């Protein structure tokens, strides 16, 4: 019994020593790591340039509504002189540009948070989850996230896939566990920039996923708790998600209201012009 106990203690010491020797580096470990994780790709990949262009386009299109309004007003009362500053109001343009640019920026951050993972990086993640001791290792998910980040960087990716161990675990539950529980098997990943839709249909990928899921099941008390974790992850209620949801909904209704106003006023103006043309036609003496 003592020999078995000694062997167990030695194995445990080796395991702890291995854990201590491996250096774990994640963006969350630095003061500005989380900010860098979200914003570095936005600036270095020059996404902000396209956002500026689309924001200017959206701002320009938003000026159609006041343009039609002032034309309609002039039709009824030509005593009021319409100035260019009325049609192209600086305040109107600034507000709409700010809203458009903010919407694109927030959407980018939200997409970055959800992680668009490459197929090889996903395979690496599943392999690590299948092999790592999720119960005995206190920093198992941090270790997995660090290894996947390192693997991805070796493959030519300049940016970390995960910014923390919790982020890695949430991704695994949301993108692997939940689709399998729901029996949709829609495991989302990308291959050479394109959406890869047949991940589960590949036998080796399927076997790797099942191994990872089996090991993950061992780290929870029962399958019901696994479902609870997945549901909890699906109902994230942190501040950013609430702000993003409110902002997106507000922008959607703003666009609908402005578009509806533009269409109503434009149709009204067209009907009035047609009516005026018909009236002038019949009023003209033959």
* 35-54: pLDDT as tens digits: 788 788 888 777 888 888 88
Q: Check whether residue 159 and residue 222 sit in a common domain.
A: yes
Percentage of the residues of the chain whose pLDDT score is greater than 70: 76
Grade residue 231 by pLDDT with cuts at 50, 70 and 90.
very low
Query: What pLDDT, on the 0 to 100 scale, is given for residue 222?
Result: 39
Are 227 and 174 contained in the same domain?
yes
Distance CA 80, CA 64 (A): 20
Please determine, for residue 264, whether its predicted confidence score (pLDDT) is greater than 70. yes
pLDDT reading at 142 higher than 50? yes
Residue 11: inside a domain, yes or no? no
The per-residue pLDDT for range 162-203, each reduced to its tens digit, is: 988 888 988 998 889 888 888 888 888 888 778 887 888 889
Same domain flag for 174 and 81: no
Asked whether residue 101 falls in the same domain as residue 152, the answer is no
Pair (221, 82) in one structural domain: no
Are residues 218 and 247 both part of a single domain? no
Percent of the chain with pLDDT strictly greater than 90:
12
Q: For 91-140, what is each residue's pLDDT tens digit? A: 878 888 888 888 888 888 887 777 888 999 999 999 999 998 887 777 88
Do 122 and 212 reside in the same domain of the chain?
Answer: yes
* 204 domain residue, yes or no: yes
Cα separation values, 281 from 78, 96, 275, 277, 278, Å: 22, 42, 10, 6, 5
The answer to whether residues 74 and 265 touch, using CB atoms and an 8 Å cutoff, is no
Which ranges constitute the DSSP H helices of the chain? 2-21, 33-44, 47-62, 64-76, 84-87, 90-114, 119-131, 140-154, 165-172, 178-181, 203-218, 223-234, 239-283
Pair 214, 163 in one domain: yes
What is the rounded CA–CA span in Å between residue 238 and residue 147? 27
Separation between Cα atoms, residue 264 and residue 72, nearest integer Å: 11
Largest CA distance in the chain: 122
How many domains would you assign to the chain? Answer: 2
- Between 82 and 276, residue with greater pLDDT: 276
Give mean pLDDT, residues 231-259.
70
- In a domain? residue 65: yes
Domain membership of residue 250 as a residue range: 47-112+240-283
- The answer to whether position 13 is within a domain reads no
**φ, ψ dihedrals at 186, nearest 5°:** -90, 80
Tell whether 89 and 155 lie within a shared domain.
no
60 shares a domain with 155: no
Please compute the mean of the pLDDT values over residues 223-227 and round it to a whole number.
44
- In the predicted model, what is the mean pLDDT of the chain? 77
Same domain, 108 and 121: no
155 vs 200, higher pLDDT: 200
Residue 141: inside a domain: yes
pLDDT for position 239: 64
Under 8 Å between Cβ of 164 and 28? yes
Q: Is the pLDDT of residue 76 over 60?
A: yes
The count of C-alpha atoms lying within 13 angstroms of the C-alpha of 78, restricted to the half-sphere facing its C-beta, is: 1
Query: Higher pLDDT residue, 83 or 22?
Result: 22
Q: Are residues 210 and 132 in the same domain?
A: yes
> Is 36 contained in some domain?
no
- Does some domain include residue 7? no
Instruction: Please report where in the chains the tokens 């992680």 appear, as a residue.
Output: 115
What's the CA gap between 122 and 145, in Å, rounded? 11
pLDDT over 60 (residue 4): no
């Amino acid at each position: 019994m003592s020999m078995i106990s000694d062997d167990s203690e030695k194995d445990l010491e080796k395991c702890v020593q291995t854990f201590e020797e491996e250096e774990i580096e994640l963006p969350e470990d630095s003061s500005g790591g989380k900010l860098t994780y979200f914003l570095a790709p936005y600036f270095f990949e020059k996404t902000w340039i396209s956002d500026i262009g689309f924001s200017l386009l959206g701002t320009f299109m938003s000026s159609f509504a006041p343009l039609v309004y002032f034309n309609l007003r002039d039709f009824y009362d030509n005593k009021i002189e319409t100035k260019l500053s009325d049609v192209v109001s600086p305040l109107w343009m600034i507000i709409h540009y700010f809203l458009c640019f903010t919407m694109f920026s927030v959407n980018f951050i939200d997409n970055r948070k959800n992680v668009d993972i490459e197929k090889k990086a996903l395979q690496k993640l599943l392999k690590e989850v299948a092999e790592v001791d999720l119960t005995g290792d206190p920093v198992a998910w941090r270790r997995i996230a660090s290894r996947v980040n390192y693997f991805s960087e070796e493959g030519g990716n300049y940016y970390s896939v995960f910014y923390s161990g919790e982020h890695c675990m949430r991704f695994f539950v949301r993108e692997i566990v939940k689709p399998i529980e729901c029996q949709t098997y829609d495991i989302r990943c990308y291959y050479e920039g394109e959406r890869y839709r047949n991940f589960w249909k590949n036998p080796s990928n399927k076997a790797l996923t099942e191994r990872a899921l089996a090991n993950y099941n061992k780290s929870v008390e029962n399958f019901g708790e696994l479902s609870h974790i997945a549901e909890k992850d699906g109902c994230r209620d942190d501040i950013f998600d609430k702000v993003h949801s409110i902002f997106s909904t507000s922008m959607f209704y703003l666009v609908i209201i402005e578009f509806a106003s533009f269409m109503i006023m434009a149709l009204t103006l067209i009907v009035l012009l047609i009516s005026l043309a018909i009236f002038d036609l019949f009023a003209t003496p033959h």
